[in-house]
Chains A and B, each alone.
Chain A
Amino acid sequence: MERGKRPLILTWLALLALLVTSAGSAWLPLGWLNSAISLGIACAKALLVALVFMRLRQAHALLRLAAVAGLVTLVLLFGLAGADYATRSAVPAPWQAPATVAPRLGALGALGDTSCRHQRARPSGGWAVTTPGGMSCTLASPASIMQSCSSCSKRSSAHSTPS
């Protein structure tokens, strides 16, 4: 029994050592290397868990294939979607209001939610915020929405909108 347990205990100790290393190295100012090291260590830990604890090392080829298939599909998602992001630059611009009316509020409420519904910019450049109670206010920027809405006194939970 002891012989069988030894690889498991050793692996566990190795995992803890790797954990201490990644936790420690995060505090050293190494720039991009920090991420590289911590992810690299995570991969090493993952390999140890998969090969030793999950016994992939001795497993039938089919089980390893199942594991790899999941990884490959994930890589496809990251790769091709990443190709879009890598070849496109985001140019943030203030939103123009679509030519529709404000969303109807106070409709049938199944799961009510009482937060503010913010609307897109007016031509003057401000942000129109409409509360569920139908009150409105104008704010300067998206960031201030989060600040202002939480302390806004105009919010009312009298109406709810369907989720």
Chain B
Amino acid sequence: MNTGPATHAAHTPPAPQFATRAQQEFAGSFGMWVFIASELLFFGPLLFGYLYLRLHFPQGCAAASRHTDFWLGTANTAVLLTSSLLMALAGQAAQAGLRRRAAGLLAASAALGLAFLAIKGWEYHAEFNEHLFPGVGFRPEAGGVAQQWPGMQLFFILYFAMTGVHALHLSAGILACLWLALGLRRAAPAGLPDSAVELAGLYWHFVDLVWIFLYPLLYLVGRAGG
């Protein structure tokens, strides 16, 4: 626990298996961090597959990365970073007992998350149309020699897998934010506890962390023509 529990929380009794509210909240934070560690390992094979790919098909990777949309990817990164700020502010507001402000910030984060998904969906749409989706229909039209196609296709397998799994996680985060925003409208203990915002924040920041690494790996390879 970083600071003392908010005034609201001090009045709500802990769940029956816990002795004190503080113990419960610490267990919640610790549990979320353990979950985040497991999620890091969940993305691990994709990252290792990417490493294999970069080492074995450097030109294919570069050619494929040039087919991703640099501006949309960069914009999306900024969107997600901003949503993280809003989540951090929401956590701070909840800790101070300002449930209404926290709910508003959560809704705003969710909105930015939806914006991210919309931009991503637009990118996917464009990539489908350019025949960049791996499988029998794979056929990059501009750039990339035929020998590079195996590497390019492997890149796009990982691209769609990594961004797809990331988008799934983001969607879960958006739902959590919306549910929390609704749950905070009623005062504790009938509504959700303030500490839930911190937990949702941790998860959201993790999803942002994943994207922070996906961005250079997928969008910035070979931009200088190397």
Closest to B84 in A: A53
Rounded to whole Å, the gap between the CB of A144 and the closest CB of chain B is: 8
**Which residues of chain A are near B78, meaning CB under 8 Å?**
16, 19
Known: A69-B37, A70-B40. A8 touches B92 (CB 8 A): yes
**Which residues of chain B are near A42, meaning CB under 8 Å?**
212-213, 215-216
B17 at the interface (CB under 8 A from A): no
Q: How many of A's residues come within 8 Å of B, CB to CB?
A: 58
Tell me which residues from 117 to 146 in chain B have a Cβ below 8 Å from any Cβ of chain A.
Answer: 135-139, 146
A54 at the interface (CB under 8 A from B): yes
B55 at the interface (CB under 8 A from A): yes
Are B52 and A85 in touch, CB under 8 angstroms? yes
Are B212 and A45 in touch, CB under 8 angstroms? yes
- Please, what's the 1-or-0 string for A28-56, where 1 marks a CB less than 8 Å from any CB in chain B? 11110011001101100110011011110
**Which residues of chain A are near B170, meaning CB under 8 Å?**
none
- The answer, among A16, A29, A59, A82, for a CB contact under 8 Å with B225, is A29
Are A8 and B85 in touch, CB under 8 angstroms? yes
**Which residues of chain B are near A49, meaning CB under 8 Å?**
84, 205, 208-209, 212
**Which residues of chain A are near B208, meaning CB under 8 Å?**
49, 53
Q: Of the listed stretches A60-68, A99-107, A120-128, name the one at the interface; the rest are far from the partner chain.
A: A60-68
**Which residues of chain B are near A116, meaning CB under 8 Å?**
136
Complex CA–CA separation, A16 to B82 (angstroms): 9
- Please, what's the 1-or-0 string for A69-108, where 1 marks a CB less than 8 Å from any CB in chain B? 1110110011001100100001000000000000000000
Known: A46-B212, A78-B51, A146-B136. A66 touches B220 (CB 8 A): no
Interface size class, chain B: 35 or more
Residue of B149, B150, B212 contacting most chain A CB atoms (<10 Å): B212
Rounded to whole Å, the gap between the CB of B207 and the closest CB of chain A is: 11
- Please, what's the 1-or-0 string for B30-53, where 1 marks a CB less than 8 Å from any CB in chain A? 100110111011001001100110
Are A62 and B40 in touch, CB under 8 angstroms? no
**Which residues of chain A are near B74, meaning CB under 8 Å?**
19, 23
Complex CA–CA separation, A45 to B77 (angstroms): 11
- Please, what's the 1-or-0 string for A123-156, where 1 marks a CB less than 8 Å from any CB in chain B? 0000000000000000000110011011000000
Rounded to whole Å, the gap between the CB of B78 and the closest CB of chain A is: 6
B89 at the interface (CB under 8 A from A): yes
B176 at the interface (CB under 8 A from A): no
- The answer, among A5, A29, A70, for a CB contact under 8 Å with B36, is A70
**Which residues of chain A are near B92, meaning CB under 8 Å?**
4-5, 8
Closest to B31 in A: A66
Are A78 and B26 in touch, CB under 8 angstroms? no
B197 at the interface (CB under 8 A from A): no
**Which residues of chain B are near A70, meaning CB under 8 Å?**
36-38, 40-41
Closest to A30 in B: B224
Known: A19-B78, A63-B29. A146 touches B48 (CB 8 A): no
**Which residues of chain B are near A150, meaning CB under 8 Å?**
136-139
Complex CA–CA separation, A73 to B45 (angstroms): 12
A161 at the interface (CB under 8 A from B): no
- The answer, among B34, B52, B77, for a CB contact under 8 Å with A19, is B77
A163 at the interface (CB under 8 A from B): no
Complex CA–CA separation, A15 to B88 (angstroms): 14
B202 at the interface (CB under 8 A from A): yes
7 A-B residue pairings within 8 Å (CB atoms) = A1-B96, A16-B78, A19-B77, A34-B220, A49-B84, A60-B1, A142-B150
6 new A-B pairs (CB below 8 Å) besides A22-B220, A74-B41? A1-B96, A5-B89, A23-B74, A38-B216, A74-B40, A146-B136
